Structure 1
């Protein structure tokens, strides 16, 4: 992820995050980043959000060595927004 690489190059600890984004009444698979600023803070450069809003549901942290495992999980999830 470009943002993670750029943050790390500037000396800011960063890690990729994968999960779901709730938008327009549905959940979508999405990836964003977290940077360490005394605590891990979600950042979504795709939507220019710092911090990323509560519509982001984190499912995995770090590079996914086996992304198919996450895809299988997504097919079994049931989420309700209230």
Structure 2
């Protein structure tokens, strides 16, 4: 079952976030999720190196696999 989560860009306070339905059917691996987030979130100003890491919204925990994502939560994408 897909988990609906919202991703924000680190350092972009005006960005409202993107909601994704994350599932192993849609993304074969954590790296595939990072590549998709890079495609949709990164530009020259924000995340110029692409999305390399995902953190909980308060920055307290680094997410290292799709299993760690929690339904309805918000996460921050960083380079």
Q: TM-score, normalised by structure 1?
A: 0.31
The structure whose Rg is larger is 1
Task: Write 1 or 2 for the structure with the bigger share of strand.
Answer: 1
